[in-house]
Amino acid sequence: MPTNFASYYDAVINWKKRLAREMPRLEEMARQAGGRVLVPACGTGGHVVALAQQGFNVLGFDADAGMVEFTRRRIETAVATIAAAHGKAEVRLLTLEGAAKLHEEFGAAFCLGNALPGLSAEGQLLAALRGVANALRPGGIFLTQNLNYDLRWQQRISQFPLLNGETPREEILLVKVAEYHADYVNFHAMFLAREKPSGKWQAHARTSRQIPLFQKLLTDLATQAGLGDFRFWGDFARTPFELEGSHDLIVATRKL
């Protein structure tokens, strides 16, 4: 992945709006769980820093070196506010399956941003759930937020609203297209970037394969991984999940 892909992804995320929506629930659950907080597939690290700024001891990890480096810089920028809250933040390069190698017990793990459907190789998702479960203490909380694929698979939406943002150096546009197949979807993301104030537009594209992570499939695999006591919501306000109505599927569960 080119090194600027992480900054492009981060540029089109409205972090202020997103954290205002998600952090009250995450902070509540992290305080209930106690101990260290794990953020698997942490991306550009917005949640890692936000949780550390609330006084939590947070470890984020991602399998993408560009994302890890971006998160590391974000932590360095926020070091004063993290220290003032008596929090701690760190990031590592690690796959979801590799979480079993952490050799410590976390009170909570938050896997956000529709990360799990990207684990499309045979057995990869189950291995990832087992890895994260292994890193939790008994009774530890696992929360994951993904798209509602039960609804998406019916609607077969292929084009999505244009997103825009900017880095310190460039203007960014994101065009997203989904291409559906029998048992997977290719998700195409094209970033259009131009240097400020009026450079030429350059295209940067990547494709990722996603599996349709239906509610039943996720529940069955998580149960095999040693998780239980499931709760399902359609959003972070704990609106009950509706198979044919909710945009997201948020699952909260515990290590048995």
Strands 163-166 and 136-147: unpaired
3-class SS shares of the chain: helix, strand, coil, % to 5? 35, 35, 30
Q: What is the pTM of this model?
A: 0.96
Element (H, E) at 222: helix 215-224
Task: Transcribe 78-94 into DSSP letters.
Answer: THHHHHHTT-EEEEEE-
Query: Residue 131 in contact with residue 222, Cβ under 8 Å?
Result: no
The domain that contains 219 carries what CATH number? 3.40.50.150
User: What torsion do the CA atoms of 53, 54, 58, 61 make, to the nearest 10 degrees?
Assistant: -60
Distance CA 95, CA 186 (A): 21
The domain that contains 178 carries what CATH number? 2.20.25.110
Whether residue 1 is predicted with pLDDT greater than 50 in this model: the reply is no
Whether residue 144 is found in the same domain as residue 129: yes
Backbone angles phi, psi at 92, to 5 degrees: -135, 155
What confidence tier does 103 reach under pLDDT thresholds 50, 70, 90? confident
Q: Give the count of domains, the chain.
A: 2
What confidence tier does 220 reach under pLDDT thresholds 50, 70, 90? very high
Whether residue 221 is found in the same domain as residue 114: yes
Whether residue 145 is found in the same domain as residue 156: no
Q: Which domain holds residue 46?
A: 5-149+213-255
What confidence tier does 4 reach under pLDDT thresholds 50, 70, 90? confident
Whether residue 80 is found in the same domain as residue 66: yes
Partners of residue 147 on adjacent β-strands: 248
Whether residue 184 is found in the same domain as residue 132: no
Whether residue 80 is found in the same domain as residue 162: no
Whether residue 31 is found in the same domain as residue 100: yes
Whether residue 26 is found in the same domain as residue 134: yes
Mean pLDDT throughout 180-185?
Answer: 96
For 113-140, how does the pLDDT look when each residue is reduced to its tens digit (9 = 90+)?
A: 999 999 999 999 999 999 999 999 999 9
